[in-house]
A and B are shown apart, each in its own frame.
Chain A
Amino acid sequence: MKGKIKEKGFSISGALLLLFAVWLGVKLGLIFMLWVTAVN
């Protein structure tokens, strides 16, 4: 074997980024629904 295969695994930064994705998705969903149901 020429080089080491980098193992995939749990990383704090990856988990935080996924959490950020969920948070952003919720916020975008809320903003979208606010826009859809805007009073005008």
Chain B
Amino acid sequence: MDRDFWSWFMTCLFGSFVLTCFVIVLTDKPLVRSDIFPEKSSKNLDLKESSSNDVYLPQNDPFVLLADSNLSEPYGFYRALDYLVVADPHRSSGKGYVRFYDVQTKKENEDKRYSAKFPAQILEFGQKQILIDNGSGGSIKIIQDGIVLSTYEGVSDPKDGFFDFEENLMYIADRGNKRILVLDTNLEVVAEWVPKNNFEPNGITFGSNGKAYVTDKISKKVWVFENGSITGSFVPDSPERFLYPGGITTDYWGRVYVSDYSADKIYIFSEDGDYLGLIDKDLINDSSFKKPRNLFFDKSSGRMLVSAGDRLTNAGRIWSVPVPLLEE
């Protein structure tokens, strides 16, 4: 084989590499696929019916709450009264930030912004924040006005957390250690929940019934915990299944919402795990509704706030999508 041949070889190799990348980007074809395509449940509540029977809450507000060009791939976030705090890891550059946005003007308050390696979730308690940082192995930090007050480093690959205001305890989805870690506000370990099955928690929330709901990356289920032990699990009704259950939260009425990052959908369940319906691009008639991650039920608007975006496009958004009313 002469030199000419090897230059042809490299041209073919590189050319087909670039062409493949282009084709995937242009066709926007999901690389992680399942032969099970989620369909709407028979009990699904369709937004189109909303005008006639008020199945969903009023639709006057736009569905995109925040679409800032600086926001690359938002993970966890919360809405306080007049501002939105977003954990924005920016995985492609490795320079993550916690950003503060004014809800009315949609502008970022850059004075409040602070950097973090890989902020996965941000929670609020009092005037302080709990930062669940996935970077450098993982850590839990208590932060006030951008200053780190205390740090706990005994976690591995933490993804999510929940703060219980009644007990003043935080529950951390400690994915790398396959457990739920319970910490107090001094970051002292109070308890740990370690199920016997192979388990990697992606998200955690609590219902008003006192049960904890945990999304599991491995078994692709939602596990129900009571007093630290698993008492049940649920998935969407067949043929619907989870591809990648991530963010999880409950609403005012106790229903459980689970985002599926790979299926581009948010599933709605009753507090007992009965599948009620889903929120997807068809519901809000916007095909750019993709890759939902973390969820936050906004009591002030009665809507579900959804962080979405992927590393490829670096076009992160916070969506504000309608939730169904209870069928009374």
Contact = CB atoms under 8 A, between A and B. Distances in A.
Q: Do A and B bind each other?
A: yes
Interface of A: 8, 14, 17-18, 21-26, 28-30, 32-34, 36-40
Interface in B1-55: 1-2, 4-5, 8-10, 12-21, 24-25, 31-32
B261 interface: yes
A25 B20 contact: yes
B32 A39 contact: yes
B311 interface: yes
Contacts of B24: 29-30, 33
B132 to A, nearest CB: 14
A24 B9 CA distance: 11
21 contacts: A18-B12, A21-B16, A25-B16, A25-B17, A25-B19, A26-B16, A26-B17, A26-B20, A28-B20, A29-B16, A29-B19, A29-B21, A32-B17, A32-B21, A33-B20, A33-B21, A34-B31, A34-B32, A36-B312, A39-B246, A39-B262
Most B CB contacts (10 A, CB to CB) among A26, A32, A37 go to A37
A37 B8 contact: no
Contact of A28 (B1, B17, B246): B17
Contacts, number: 71
B319 interface: no
B5 A37 contact: no
B91 interface: yes
B244 A39 contact: yes
A14 B246 CA distance: 48
B20 A29 contact: yes
Contacts of B262: 39
A18 B17 contact: no
Given A14-B1, A30-B31, A21 B312 contact: no
B311 A38 contact: yes
B271 interface: no
A10 to B, nearest CB: 12
A28 B24 CA distance: 13
A18 B8 contact: yes
B310 interface: yes
5 smallest CB-CB distances across A and B, nearest first, come from: A29-B20, A25-B16, A21-B12, A25-B17, A21-B13
Contacts of A8: 2, 4
A23 B19 CA distance: 12
Nearest to A29: B20
Contact of A25 (B15, B32, B310, B312): B15
Contacts of B31: 30, 33-34, 37
Contacts of A14: 1, 5
Contacts of B1: 14, 17
Given A21-B12, A22-B16, A40 B4 contact: no
